[in-house]
C-alpha cells in the first residue's frame, strides 16, 4: 500500500510496514514538520548529522528518526547554545556509547 499526499510543496509518503506505518518526508516536509528553516536542515544534512532514507525512486526522503534528531539538534543549538561543531562531537560520542 502506498499513499502520497501533497500540500503546500510538502510530500508525505506513508508505506505500510507490518502493523505500523513508516512516514517519509521530503526536505520541505521535514522542514515544515520540525519548524526548522530549510537552510538549517540542509546544513545538518551536509554535516552528516541527518541523512535521507533509501528511496526506491531516488528521492531524498526522511523518516521519523530524522524528525526526532533534527528537533534534538535544534534544542541543543538554541536552548543550550551549542555550536554546530559541538553538536557533531556530542552526537559522535553519543553514537559511540550506544554500541
Which structural domains are found in the chain, ordered by start? 2-98 (1.10.1660.10)
Look at 17 and 86; give whichever has higher pLDDT: 86
| CA-based torsion, 92, 67, 31, 83: positive or negative | negative
Q: The whole model's pTM is what?
A: 0.78
How far apart CA 14 and CA 1 sit, in angstroms, is: 8
SS3 state at 6? strand
Q: How high is the pLDDT of residue 34?
A: 97
18: pLDDT confidence band, cut at 50, 70 and 90? low
Q: Give rounded-to-5 percent helix, strand, coil for the chain.
A: 45, 25, 30
Look at 20 and 87; give whichever has higher pLDDT: 87
Mean pLDDT (the chain, rounded): 86
Amino acid at each position: 500500500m502506498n499513499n502520497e499526499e501533497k500540500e503546500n510543496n510538502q510530500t508525505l509518503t506513508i508505506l505500510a510496514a507490518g502493523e505500523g506505518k513508516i512516514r517519509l518526508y521530503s526536505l520541505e516536509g521535514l522542514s515544515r514538520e520540525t519548524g526548522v528553516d530549510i537552510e538549517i536542515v540542509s546544513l545538518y544534512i551536509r554535516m552528516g548529522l541527518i541523512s535521507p532514507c533509501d528511496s526506491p525512486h531516488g528521492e531524498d526522503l526522511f523518516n521519523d528518526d530524522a524528525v526526532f534528531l533534527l528537533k534534538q539538534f535544534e534544542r541543543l543549538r538554541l536552548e543550550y547554545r551549542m555550536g554546530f561543531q559541538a553538536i557533531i562531537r556530542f552526537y559522535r560520542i553519543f553514537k559511540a556509547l550506544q554500541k
